[in-house]
Amino acid sequence: MSSLPKMIPDDYVFTRVRDAAHPEYATASATATARYALLRRGMTVKEFLDIDLRGNQPRRIDITNNLKVRVGQYSANLELAAPSAPDAVAARREYLGTMAEAVTYVAAIDTKADDIMLDPKKSRLVCEVDFEKDGKQTGFVRLFHSVHASAYGFIPIPIVVIKNGEGPTAVFTSGNHGDEYEGQVALCDLARTLDPAKIKGRVILLPMANFAAGMAGRRTSPIDEVNLNRAFPGDPNGTVTQQIAYWIESTLLPKADFVADLHSGGSSLMYVPCALMKLSGDEKRNAAQRAMLEAFGAPINYITPGGSGTGQDNTLSGGAERLGIPAIGTELAGSGTVTRAALQVVRRGLNNLLVHAGILPESDRVEITVAPQVVTVAGPEHFVYAAESGVWEPMVELGQMVQAGQAAARIYRPETPWLPPVTMRFEAGGMVLCKRIPGRTMRGDCLFHLGA
């Protein structure tokens, strides 16, 4: 025991734990007994500390100072070793083969096991609606968040489930970024007007995915400053935004047959209203996504391999890709406002996606009068970034066709007005899909991106 460090690391392994069936523990509370049942030979310190039973987590100090863990009025005698020690290696191998037995045992001893998070990897969020019930349900996904002003409070993430019998499941999300509004408005419309009797299947709406960011009208959460669409697959024990990402990817997306994640340019960008898909290595999935784009019918569709600062696989659509679920996104205008033309695009697009999937009848299809254009957004040459900080003058406008080498912007430096402006140029040709909104810019800000 004397060889143990003063503060036992997360990766240290329990090599001996007194038998969970010891009669002393039969008198402990159900919650305490449940926790003890999950404390197994071979478990790491982190795995044990991650267990949360009704908000009453184990404490590292109990392990470090006493080499005991309290269970009701009793203590479990523990021995630990570094993960490389032979006895730790053997215990770990045994544990990884018996985890399922541990969870089964706990469920058997507590009649209220549904209230207890038995698996450290299970999301802590609790959903008020029943995904399997027919009709229209509204409620909240509760993210418990204890702060000074609300000791036992929760963050109420609104959710709507509209279901009628068997059929495909559509998952539509918005408010992933709180300052992108067209999608939020469109999903509010659907939440009020979509009649369960008219559909076949299920529609799940998450209009304000990052609730705190939505309430603040910000791209990132004011609680933890995390960008939800760069937080996937998330962490069930992480910050508020990481927990939301984990719940979406682990609980919500697996229910979907297809996904639409609705974005706009937010406070700093303005887009030509468009829909988009990210290519994957699954050609069948790519074909399904192309068909979704065609049904959605945005004026511009763009196809991207991902990357180039747009999120790669740590986005919601990246989570859908990991699960093999077809997913498209949108960029619906922006500039921190609501644009009527973009609203018309997204309202029609969502309706036609539901028709395309067979959730709504063919008679509900809204005709598209102008054939969409299809462009690609590939590597960094399709983006123009500010090379200096200052006030920038755009040399082109949204929707304009440009050529490689053409002047894109001039950046002025009023703090040193005698210096000449810096001219930024396009590295590739194509259509201007996106433009920065604020006149003040910093080195590294995206000023434009193109579709080729």
- In percent, the amount of the chain with pLDDT more than 70 equals 82
Task: Name the token pair of 27.
Answer: 């008198």
Q: Give CATH 2.40.50.100 domain extents, the chain.
A: 380-451
Task: Name the token pair of 91.
Answer: 């215990």
- pLDDT band at residue 279 under the 50/70/90 scheme: very high
- pLDDT band at residue 19 under the 50/70/90 scheme: low
The string of pLDDT tens digits covering residues 52-77 is: 544 445 666 666 655 555 444 445 56
Task: Name the token pair of 15.
Answer: 């090599």
The string of pLDDT tens digits covering residues 117-160 is: 334 468 899 999 999 999 999 999 999 999 999 999 999 999 99
- pLDDT band at residue 22 under the 50/70/90 scheme: low
Segment among 70-79, 83-92, 358-367 with least mean pLDDT: 70-79
CA–CA separation, 212 and 37 (whole Å):
36
Strand-pair partners of 451:
431
Average of pLDDT values for 326-341? 95
Cα separation values, 366 from 171, 266, 297, Å = 20, 27, 10
**What pLDDT, on the 0 to 100 scale, is given for residue 57?**
56
Segment among 56-60, 167-171, 272-276 with least mean pLDDT: 56-60
Could you identify the residue written with the tokens 């191998």? 93
Q: Give CATH 3.40.630.10 domain extents, the chain.
A: 126-376
List, as one string, the DSSP characters of 188-246.
Answer: HHHHHH--GGG-SEEEEEETTSSHHHHHHT-SS-TTT---GGGSTT--TTS-HHHHHHH
**What pLDDT, on the 0 to 100 scale, is given for residue 10?**
82
Count the Cβ atoms, other than its own, within 10 Å of residue 447: 21
- Does 258 or 40 have the greater pLDDT score? 258
**What pLDDT, on the 0 to 100 scale, is given for residue 67?**
54
**What pLDDT, on the 0 to 100 scale, is given for residue 389?**
97
**What pLDDT, on the 0 to 100 scale, is given for residue 303?**
94
Cβ atoms of 135 and 142 closer than 8 Å: no
Cβ atoms of 230 and 314 closer than 8 Å: yes
Per residue, the 3-state secondary structure of 357-391, as one string, reads HCCCCHHHCCCCCCCCEEEECCCHHHEEECCCCEE
pLDDT for residue 195 is more than 90? yes
**What pLDDT, on the 0 to 100 scale, is given for residue 310?**
63
CATH domain 126-376 topology: Aminopeptidase (3.40.630)
- How many distinct helices (H) and strands (E) make up the chain? 11, 22
Per residue, the 3-state secondary structure of 268-280, as one string, reads CEEECCEEEEECC
Cβ atoms of 233 and 243 closer than 8 Å: no
Task: Name the token pair of 341.
Answer: 């033309």
Question: What's the half-sphere exposure (Cβ side, CA atoms, 13 Å) at 437?
Answer: 13
Could you identify the residue written with the tokens 């269970």? 71
pLDDT for residue 326 is more than 80? yes
**What pLDDT, on the 0 to 100 scale, is given for residue 77?**
66
| Residue 412: burial class (beta carbons within 10 Å; 0-12, 13-18, 19+) | middle
CA–CA separation, 112 and 305 (whole Å):
47
Local structure of residue 307 (DSSP, 8 states):
-
The string of pLDDT tens digits covering residues 432-445 is: 999 999 999 999 99
**What pLDDT, on the 0 to 100 scale, is given for residue 369?**
87
Q: Is the peptide bond before 233 cis (omega within 30 degrees of 0)?
A: yes
**What pLDDT, on the 0 to 100 scale, is given for residue 444?**
95
Query: 54 — phi, psi (to 5°)?
Result: 55, 40
Write out the CATH class of domain 380-451.
mainly beta
Question: What's the half-sphere exposure (Cβ side, CA atoms, 13 Å) at 438?
Answer: 12
pLDDT for residue 251 is more than 50? yes
**What pLDDT, on the 0 to 100 scale, is given for residue 1?**
39
**What pLDDT, on the 0 to 100 scale, is given for residue 98?**
54
Cβ atoms of 349 and 330 closer than 8 Å: yes
When the pLDDT of each residue in the chain is averaged and rounded to a whole number, the result is 86
CA–CA separation, 45 and 42 (whole Å):
10
SS3 for 132? coil
- What are the respective helix, strand and coil percentages of the chain, to the nearest 5? 30, 25, 45
**What pLDDT, on the 0 to 100 scale, is given for residue 49?**
75
Question: What's the half-sphere exposure (Cβ side, CA atoms, 13 Å) at 14?
Answer: 27
State the angle between helix axes of 30-38 and 99-109 in degrees (0 to 180), rounded to the nearest 10. 170
- pLDDT band at residue 384 under the 50/70/90 scheme: very high
**What pLDDT, on the 0 to 100 scale, is given for residue 59?**
62
Cα separation values, 244 from 154, 176, 250, Å = 13, 10, 10
**What pLDDT, on the 0 to 100 scale, is given for residue 242?**
96
SS3 for 351? helix
Question: What's the half-sphere exposure (Cβ side, CA atoms, 13 Å) at 181?
Answer: 16
